[in-house]
Structures are given as C-alpha cells and as structure tokens.
Amino acid sequence: MFEGRPDRDAEVVLVGRSNVGKSTLMRELTGHAVETGGKPGVTRQPNHYDWVAEDFVLTDLPGFGFMSGVDEAVREQIKTDVVRYVEDHADELLVAVLVVDGKSVIDIIDRHSGPDSIPYDVELFHFLRELDVPTVVAVNKMDKVDDRDERLDDLCDRFGLPTPWQQWQDTVAPITAKQGRIEPLTDAVRTHLHDQKRDDLFKFF
C-alpha cells in the first residue's frame, strides 16, 4: 500500500502506464527534478509535490503495465494500489490526469481488447469518471505522431467519446511534455479547477 501522502484537502494526480512520460510531465509542471528513467517502472511509490501554504498536492502515481525486470505479482499489486489510492482520495481529487503515449496507445488498447477484457487505460478512465473525478487524458509524445487528428479521433472512439476529438478539449489534451508543450493540458486542468471554484490554484498550471 502506498504511504506518506501529505495531509492535503486538494490534489491533482497523474496516472498511466509505465514509460508514458508522467514523471517528465511532473517535472514540467513543477520545475522540480523528478527521477525519470528510460526503463519502465522507475516510479514505484507516489511522488508527492506539495505546497504547504496552499493545502494542495500534485501526485505522480506509479506506472502500471509492463516493467522491465518486475514480476507480474508486483505489477498487479501496483495496479491495485493505484486504484485503491484513487478510491480512498476521490473526495480530495480536483482533477485526474491520465497520461497515455500518443504513438502507441491505440495499439496497446486494441491488443488488450476482447470479449472478456477491458484495456486498463479505458477501465481507469471510466473508473475515475464513475468516482466523479474530473479526468483529462493527456496524450503525450505527440511530436512523434503524423496523423494527429485521426489518432485523437481513434482515441476518443476507444474511450467511448463521440468524435471529432476537438469537442473534448476539456478531456483530451495533446501534449509533448519533453518539449514543454503542455498548454492544452494546463488549459483543460484550469477549466476543471474553475468549475470547482479553485482559480487560486491556476498558478500551478
């Protein structure tokens, strides 16, 4: 079970598979060096970045899915812990940011789709929404995607959102965290913060 969460009433979380760029995005948002690595699964415990005076914490949750050199039992435990964390703190979560890799997400979702299985990214998206946590899908690494609009339409389709993707700009945010191009995400997060009368937190996004 994850431990050490600061006692804060307001939180934004980053969730997603390993190696999609969550920690890079965290660094971009905070200006604070977060351990990142080329190998999946560097983050095993939540990274909390909190502002004591603001009663606010930004959390990068560990990635799920394939991790080099990590056995399946540990991977499943991390998945369970991520779900439990989100469930336990749903009342404090102002926004959840589900980070996906724009280049590979469609293939991954399709590979894990079947009559008896729901891909974890899709499942987590709907789980967050069922908990009434405003959720933004940050589609990262878009600099590597050629057919941008088509790819984002396909993603909406997989998540059960009617296309075209442009009507979901509070929910689907194409970004390239490594190059600091994250404005669609910060705009979407601010929209959700504003809806919850938390414009005071705009300075973090």
Q: What is the mean pLDDT of residues 59-65?
A: 87
Whole-angstrom Cα distance, residue 93 to residue 87? 10
Whole-angstrom Cα distance, residue 136 to residue 172? 6
**What pLDDT does 39 receive?**
46
Q: What are 111-141's pLDDT values in tens digits?
A: 988 877 788 899 999 999 999 999 999 999 9
**What pLDDT does 34 receive?**
57
Domains of the chain as residue ranges with CATH: 10-196 (3.40.50.300)
CB 140 within 8 A of CB 179: no
> What predicted TM-score, i.e. pTM, was given to this entire model?
0.92
Whole-angstrom Cα distance, residue 178 to residue 115? 36
Nearest to 84 by CA among 56, 116, 51, 46: 46
**DSSP code of residue 40:** T
